[in-house]
Structures are given as C-alpha cells and as structure tokens.
Chain A
Amino acid sequence: MRNRLIYALLGVVLLATGAGCKDPYTPDITTRNLNYPVVEGEIINGQAETIFKLSRTAMMADTSYIKDELNADIRVEGDDNSSRQLAGIGGGRYTAGILNLNTAAKYRVHIRTSDGKEYASAFVNVHTNPPIDSVTWRWEPAEGVKVFVHTHDPANNTRYYRWQYEETWEHDVYYISAMKYVTPPPRVIERPANETLPIRCWQYENSSSIIIHSTARLQNDIVKDKQLLTVPNGSWKMGVKYTVLVKQFTMDKQAFDYWQMMKRNTESLGSIFDPQPSESRGNITCLTNPSEPVIGWVSAGSVQEQRIWISRSQLIGWRYSLICEETQVPAIADSRRFISAVAC
C-alpha cells in the first residue's frame, strides 16, 4: 500500500516536472569489521532434500566475494531428542538428505562453527502445506509473459506463503564451438573432428526476490493470481522452450514478518514515505555470545512443487530470434567455401 503511494508521489513529481533525477550514489562508509553469520534454509519434511547454506556478511564496499562458512558442524534437532547431522557439499552448503519429521514435534537447527562458536535457532513447528492449485501464465503484450500461482487451503489455516522458482530454458548456440574446455589440467583444446558440435544448450536461473503473500485479511485462505515473475518481451528465455518449477513454502506470522522486513529493507525504494530500515532479529541466536547478530529465519514444513512448460510455438509473434552475424567477404572462391562452412 505504501509502495503504491511512493510510486504515486515519485512518479508524478519526478517524471512530471521532468526535473527529478536518480543518480548512482556510493556513500562514504567508515570501515568496520562486519562478519555476522548468515543461515539460510528450511527444514523440509519429506519430498525434498533439506539443505542449509552458511555464509558471512561482507563489507558493503568489499569487492571480494561473500565468504562461505565451511567446516561447520550443523544438525537438525527435534525436541523429541532426534538429531541428524548435515554433510558439507561445498560452497557453504550442507545437506541432511530427505528428512521424515514427526509433525507433533518441534525442530531446530544447531550449528557449531569452525571457530568454536555455537548457534541455534528456536524450535519451530512443522507446518502443513496445501498443494499448489495451478501455475498459469499469460502474455501481456505490453510487458511480457507473466507467471502466476494459485493455491488455497480448505482448512483456512495456512495464511502465510512464500514461493521460489527455478527457470530453465533451451536455446540455440550463437557460434560454432570449434574449441573445448577440459580439465585437468584446465586448458582449451581443439574439438576433435569426430565429436558432434553442440547446437542446443540449456540455461537456468533461480528466483532472486522474496515472493511472499498473506491471506490473513481474507475470509477464505485463497491465493489467486499471485504474480511470481515476468519474462520481458523479446527475452531469449522464450527463444525455443521454457520451463519454470515453482516451489511453495508455508510459515507462521513471525516468519512472515521477518521475510517481509527483509524484503522491505532490501528490495523496496527508499522514499521518505517508506518506513525506516529497521533491525530485524531472526530466530537464530548465538549461544556463545548472545549479542552477536545472526541473519536468517528457520522454518519447518513440507514443500509443494509444480512445473509448467511454455513452447515458442505458444507465443506467436515473440520477437526474439537468433541473429546471424553478417560478415562482409570478397566474392572469391575461398569466400564461398567459408560461407558454406559457417552458414547457419
């Protein structure tokens, strides 16, 4: 609601006067050592793997990468005294495999980092998750292809939802790949003559914004037309064939508030009609040093998934095409041979 207000204000004031402007800005931040742990993941009941990612905050000005937290001892613990250790799979990621949780119990994540500090989340309930009714898409000629999710809980008690998605699309290659990268040792070699040239590739991308929705203000727990993403007009994603896998998570109000706060602090515009960015404590604390901030919120529950496909043939008039690069060549015999070799 406030966001709309901001757009109203900024839209009118800035664009209409033609005088408003937006400039890149890099503040002068006095250096401080920021190294708070970041815990991301959900304790998933059945169906999918429970994976946690541990990392550290980095300085704003740092050009270096965000550091992964390696060699931690991380466990999912139940208040029924169950415990499962997660195995490191590189990049700060740890997996517990498929967990079959006791829905009557509460679970938490317990972490001991390699520097000996101990962290634990609060014990959380295992949430149920109603199946996704459908994932639909619509091509709005002005903007592009929009993907929507629809779901409902007949028991009316889910109320707080979050979604993630994974996009995968097929595309044709731009260039003939006469070279090849191989390891070990890492090197580029000429592609052997007997090997077929790659002409079809797949690219994938995961959601990078927080998509949450609450039906707390509605009589029935129905989510209709919740927009997840837009594939803009002319995008190469729709060049051949496209698919998106939608994953649905559910949570309680506190978790929802935390996600909303994170979204507001990191994704919305900073107008003076926006609430101030505010400190938000997650449900993970450092047991060794309780004043140390820890970023992240751990919830437990099942995940619901649904995948849809969109073919180029379903989008008549999609303005994306693989453009042949034009090369000017003199009309001599060599050139003709070259053209017949690279024709696309």
Chain B
Amino acid sequence: MIDYAQGAKPVQEATLENKLYVIGTPGGSKDPTVNLAGYIRNTQTGEPVIGVSVYVDAPKRIGVATDQYGYYSINLPRGRHVLHIQSIGMRDTRRQVMLNDHGKLNIELAEQVISLKHVTITGEKAGNVRGTQMGVEKLSIKTIKQVPAVFGEADILRVVLTLPGVKSVGEASTGFNVRGGAADQNLILFNDATIYNPSHFFGMFSTFNPEVVKSVELYKASIPAKYGGRLSSVLAVDGREGNKKKFAGVGGIGLLTSRINLEGPLVNDRTSFVFGARTTYANWMLKLLPQEYENSKVNFYDVNLLLSHEDKKKKNNFYLTTYLSRDRFALNSDTTYGYGNKNISFKWKHAFNSKFSGMVTAGYDFYDYNINSDAKELEAYKMKFDIGQANLKFDFNYYLNSSHTLDFGVSNILYKLHPGSYEPVGKESEVIADIMEPEQGMESAAYIADHWTITDKISLDAGIRWSMFNYLGPRTVNYYPAGVSRTDENLIESKQHHRGDFINNYNGPEYRVGARFATSATSSLKVSYNTMRQYIHMLSNTTAIAPTDIWKLSDPNIKPQRGDQVALGFYKNFKSNTIETSVEVYYKNLHDYLDYKSGASLVLNHKLEQDVINTKGKAYGVELMVKKLTGKLNGWISYTYSRTLLKVDDPTTTETVNKGDFYPSNYDKPHDVTMVGNYRFSHRVSFSLNTTYSTGRPITLPIGKYEYAGAVRTLYSDRNAYRIPDYFRMDMSLNIEGNHKVHQKTHNSRTFGVYNLTARRNAYSVYFVSENGYVKGYKLSIFGAAIPFVNFNIRF
C-alpha cells in the first residue's frame, strides 16, 4: 500500500487538483473493487473535518462521508477516478486518482471565507437525503455562536432547545425533553464521557465551554447501536482538536463569565492540546440583592483539557479528554450548595488496515452534590450524594464491501453510587447521622449493526444491541411478594447481599432499524424503528432538573425503563441542496417510567421502592423543518406538533394520579415554532435573529378554595389540567469582527445584542399563595424585560 500525505508546505490548489495520484502499482490487485481511505483535515489548523462528502460521479455515483475523526473509506472500481471533496464551510476540491490497489490518501481542505458562501450548519451536503439516519440534528459551533443567548454567553444547550422535538419546562432550566422523554432519558456525552448535570447556576448556563466544542449531534430517532442506556436521545458533544500548526488563544469577557482558551501543537503536526477555562464573577449580581442576602456568594467554573496525538505511521490516534465543573452557592452563608462533574476519558483509534478500524475508550465519570447548613447549631448538617461510573468500550468499524459496512463492539459500565448521607456538623448538632448504603451495578452491552446499500435507491441500517444490567452487592435489599403493594406490612424479608454477589439481572435486546428509499436524486423517504432500555433513573418530583436530584440504579424492586419509537420521514432538497426540507412523524411508547406517591421524600429514603409508582407514557408528534444552509441569509424554521401523555398503570399501588387516566406530562407543549436566522452584511458584520413561540406548559391549578387552619387555602385541579400562558420570545444580536488582516497579532470580535427584544413577560411559573387569609395568584417571569448584552473576544 502506498501512502500519499500532502506536505505542510503550501502547494497551489490547482496543482493538487490536477496532479494524478497513483495508488499502488499497475496490476497490484486483482480485485475489481479497491478501497481508498484516509483523513481529511483543515489546512490551517490540522483539525480533522467531519462530514465531508467524498464521491465520484462516474461510472456511477459512489459517495461516503468522513466520520467524527475526519476519516473516510470508499470502495471504488479499479481505474482512473475524479474524487470530489465537498464540505460546508470548506473550499470544494477534487483529486485525480489512478487506483491500482487498496491505498490511503489524506487530503487537506482550505477554509472558505467567502462571505457569499458563509455556512452555518455543518453536515454532509444532501446528507439528510442520502443517509439512512433520521431524527438527527447536527450543529457546528459556528451556528451555536451565532444564536443570540441571554447575557451573550454562547450556550450549546440553549441552541439545542431551538431544534424541533426538543423542549424544556422553563427558561432557566437546562434539562431538556426530547420527543416526550423525561430529562433523565438523555445521554449527554462530551467526547464519550457522560455528563450527569449539564448546567451551571441552577440551569442558567450549560457547562459546555463553547470554545472547546467542535460540534454537537443530537440523535432523536435512529440512535446508532453503539449508543445505549437512555431512552430518549443521545446528545454527543465533540470536543475540538487543538491547532496542530501553531499556538493560538482566545480571551473573552462577558457580563457574567470570562474565559480563556489556549491551543497549539506539542509535537508539530502530531500532538496538540486545547485548554479552556471559564469562571464567573456573578457575585456582583448579589450586591444588588436586598441587605439580608449580603453574605450570599455564587461561584462556578469549568475547565477542559483535551489532548490529541497521531503516531508517525498515521495508524494510531490518541485522544485524552479531561473535564471539571463546579458550582457553589451560599445563601447568606448559612446554607451552602455545591455540585460538580469530573470526567476523564481516553480514546485510542487504530486503523488495522484501510477497511478495518477500531477504537478503545476508557473513562471515569463522576457527579456529586452537597449541602451544608449551619443556620442553627442544634440542627447543623451536611448532606452529600455522588455517582461514579467507570466505562470501557471497544468499537469497530469494518468496510466489508461497497454494499456492507459493519459496526460492532462491546461496552461495560461499572456504577457506584452513594445515595445520600446526612451528618451532623459541629459539637452542638443533635443530627443523627444517616448514611445510605452505597449501591453498585454493572451495565454491559454488545452490538452489531450493518449498513447495507441494497441498491442505489434503497439502503438499510439494521442493528441489534443486547444490554444487560447486574445489580451488585454488598447491599441490603427488601423483598415483597409479586403483585401486591410494596408496604412494610407486605415486606417478606430484608436480605443482606455480600460483596461480589450478583443480586439480580435484567437483560434484553434493543433493535435499531432504519431504511431509506430514494424517491429522486434530491428526495427520500425514511422509516425507523428503535427500542431502548434504561437502567439508571433520576429521582425527581420537581418540574425541572434541580441540583438536588439524585440518581438510582434499577434493583429487584425498580424495573428498567423501556421505550420504543417508530418514525417516518420525508426529505427533499431544493436549489442544489442549499435548502433542506423535512417532515418527520413519530410515535413512542414508554414503559416503567418512574413517578412517586404524593409527598414521597426521595432523598435519604431507605425504602424508596415503597414510594415509587410505575407509569407508562405515549408520545407522538410531527416535526416540520426548512433549513437554508448557505448564502448571506441562512438559518432554519421549524414547527412541531407533539403530545406527551402519562398514565399510572401500577397494579400494586393504591394511589393513582387523575384516577388512572392519561394526563399530560410537565413538558407537553403541543405547538412550537422556532426561527433562527442569520444575515451577513459583510465579512465583518452579521446580524442574527431568533424567534420562538410555544404553547404554555401544563400546570396543576387551584380550582377551588377552602378554609383550614385559619386561612383560605387552595384546592388543586387534576394534575396538569391547565396551562401557563403561551411563550413567545425574540432575540437579536450583532456580531462585529475586527479587520481580517492576516498578519496582525490579535483579532478581536464584539457581540452586541438584546435578549427578549419585545420585553414580553413570559410566565416562568404561575403560583398561588394564601396571603392574609386570601388566595392570590401570581405569574412570575424571569426575563420580563429586554436584556441588552455585550461580549468581547480576543483571538491571539
């Protein structure tokens, strides 16, 4: 095999495009079809480019796209070809190749800086029509940064919330709901490390630093077989690789956070790093609070360090990701809340040959929170919760031939949770220490999936994932007879299991099937069917994700959640693939979703199984989307109609919600329209506008009143029988870049904008209180005014 790698020295593009690359020697292979593979990188930074189309037009159209490492592999008939390389945001190029044998060809792409073709959404051109996957949304960091955000802080999760099928319960909550799933049913991965709480500052910001993120991919329907463990979606956040050619940095100042980013080569062209750190100085906000809060403090930070290395033979790539985030909040110094994520992941990608590559990923993820209170000496306490998971997985990709590509692998996760401890602080404290027994579990999975191109027009993705969960000792487990309510009276025994015991086991298949029928060159019809299983549950009886929510593993009493989804979509592109349109319809079932008895306490509950009610759910909807990818004006408009309904169907519980009928979930917002637009006036000035409307979320309203304990009190309706007022918001921002002279030492950019331009007082919540013996209703809005912001960045 012959390896052509282009040197770092500048070569005229035209020379490269017209040069004939001869792969192998004539007669080197007898195979009619040979394989060509390699990496596609950015000329300036050496970073791999994802989703680049590599195709030939003759004798027939054969095309592939690069994976998340910028790797492509294409099977072509032996002979002379013109290889077209196209990617959004990069200059199109082509290579003349003479294929005599299997071989490798690495290609570098130059960034496209023509204003006319500025690009906001990465992804293979026409990828939406040609791929078998559906319900996948991909956003580049460029797009994310264009969308105006509150306080001007670019926020990945805020932008994800503008995508069809993604909802949240309120403005200041980072938890999101995908196609009717609960917030804990999303697998949030940062370079394959699981992030348990993706929010800072009670949900005002996401914990992802936009400067170290390359792209974000959200899988809503066809979830690849290599992912599992959550019912609703996978949000894969990919970190950047550092600049492999020179050192660079960005410093930024905003209203709430300041950040610094450094990147550069450690070994030229082979090893690079990216370091990003953000911290807040939001304490000034607290100075504006009434005097009684004068000792309050708020603080958060996050730090990322990403390393990547490629060996000399270009067969091995190594990636190390470390991530740390921490939030602390002290309210008038008597109660302190703290929570944070710690993650480390290591990946080794090895190309056995041009058709077969594999990857090993090992990592450790940790999330914890704690509360310390010393308001009263007698009752001073500290409370803690943590969850840790160690992962190991092997993923392989095998390009069998032009019609079959196989993905297969195995994975294993070991969980260890400390479900809560409550301990006295100080000598005076009378608090009885209450330390819950730790729990352990192991989740294993093996999968295989085949991408089968049946004909030019029909292709099929078929995968199966077998997942298994073992609940491990040491742990005391309560046993109850089947089919009766779990109460102390019905408790059969409390059994102590020892270290190393496999207490119980759940396992089952998960099917991932998707098919595509090309109805024309620019349109296709797709269908998919997915089943998922989830063995870890977030315990929450609040509407939004709260930092004090805890996680629980499935055990002999708490069954895994199961879900299945069938989806159908039609995709059509116009104007040479610059306008993408799509319609997707889905129907989804959820089983053994957890709800809780009225007034159940979820933290430090030693008999949690007695307070859990199994609930089933159904969700359905239609999502329409129009995207314009290129041109001075670009962006997308989406409309979603969706419903999510839940129903208590637990024969063992005496307690039901709404008499056992279906009721809307907290995030059931039927209508949702979002428009994200960007207009580029010149190289340096662009304008963005973001508009969103949705039906108000359901709430339980007081419908009646009664007198009790000296006051008029409220009587509530059936759960979620009413809705808060509809939501509407419009934001704008103006991005001004400094001049683009290449040789100056620093480049700067400024962003000015207004969040909630119309100053509409959107209801964040509605609540009712007894005041002086009367019931009064209030509508609370977080951003009840137009909020201007400014942000300043320096690149060096």
Contact = CB atoms under 8 A, between A and B. Distances in A.
A285 B285 CA distance: 51
Contacts of A23: 761, 778-779, 781
Contact of A270 (B376, B546, B766): B766
A280 B598 CA distance: 7
Nearest to B541: A275
A28 to B, nearest CB: 8
Interface stretch (B257-265, B512-520, B627-635, B715-723): B715-723
Interface in A56-83: 56-60, 62, 66
Given A208-B773, A273-B542, A164 B761 contact: no
A336 B750 CA distance: 76
Given A8-B329, A38-B707, A275-B541, A266 B769 contact: yes
Given A27-B766, A218-B430, A257-B599, A12 B285 contact: yes
A269 B286 contact: no
A212 to B, nearest CB: 10
Given A20-B782, A209-B709, A57 B722 contact: no
B777 A25 contact: yes
Given A34-B715, A164-B709, A272 B779 contact: no
A272 B434 contact: no
Contact of B432 (A12, A21, A219, A275): A219
A114 interface: no
Contacts of B708: 38, 40, 262, 295-296
A265 B717 CA distance: 12
Interface stretch (A127-135, A182-190, A220-228, A321-329): A220-228
Contacts of A270: 765-768, 780
Interface string A246-263: 000000000001001110
A210 B331 CA distance: 25
Interface string A32-48: 10101010100000000
B702 interface: yes
A132 B500 CA distance: 52
The residue in A8, A261, A262, A268 that gathers the most chain B C-beta atoms within 10 A of its C-beta is A8
A224 to B, nearest CB: 5
Nearest to A223: B378
B298 interface: yes
Interface in B742-786: 761, 763-770, 772-773, 775-785
Given A218-B432, A266-B714, A19 B783 contact: yes
B771 to A, nearest CB: 9
B292 A222 contact: no
A295 B715 contact: yes
A156 B379 CA distance: 16
A90 interface: no
A207 interface: yes
B19 interface: no
Contacts of B331: 4, 7-8, 11
B425 interface: no
Interface residues of B, number: 85
B657 interface: yes
B778 A57 contact: no
A274 interface: yes
Interface stretch (B88-96, B169-177, B211-219, B346-354): B169-177
B482 interface: no
A17 B709 contact: no
B578 to A, nearest CB: 39
Contact of B770 (A36, A38, A266, A295): A266
B710 A1 contact: no
Contacts of B713: 262, 265-266
A13 B710 contact: no
Contacts of A25: 763, 766, 777-779
A311 interface: no
B422 interface: yes
Contact of A9 (B172, B381, B541, B657): B172
Interface string B573-600: 0000000000000000000000000110
A24 B776 contact: yes
B183 to A, nearest CB: 11
A222 B430 contact: yes
B497 interface: no
Given A19-B783, A209-B711, A218-B432, A8 B378 contact: no
Contacts of B376: 224-225
A47 B424 CA distance: 38
B707 A22 contact: no
Contacts of B716: 265, 277-279
B781 A272 contact: no
Which of B290, B710, B719, B722 neighbours the largest number of chain A CB atoms within 10 Å of its CB? B710
Nearest to A293: B715
B775 to A, nearest CB: 7
Top-3 shortest CB links A-B = A270-B767, A16-B285, A25-B779
Given A265-B716, A295-B706, 5 more contacts: A11-B331, A15-B288, A36-B706, A66-B706, A224-B378
Interface of B: 169-170, 172-173, 202, 204, 282, 285-286, 288-293, 296, 298, 329, 331, 335, 337, 371, 376, 378-379, 381, 422, 430-432, 434, 541-544, 546-548, 598-599, 657, 666, 700-717, 719, 722, 761, 763-770, 772-773, 775-785, 787
19 contacts: A2-B546, A8-B296, A8-B337, A16-B285, A16-B286, A19-B787, A25-B778, A27-B722, A55-B706, A55-B707, A217-B431, A222-B378, A222-B430, A265-B716, A266-B775, A271-B780, A275-B542, A279-B716, A295-B706
Interface of A: 1-2, 4-5, 7-27, 29, 32, 34, 36, 38, 40, 53, 55-60, 62, 66, 142, 164, 206-210, 217-220, 222, 224-225, 257, 260-262, 264-280, 295-296
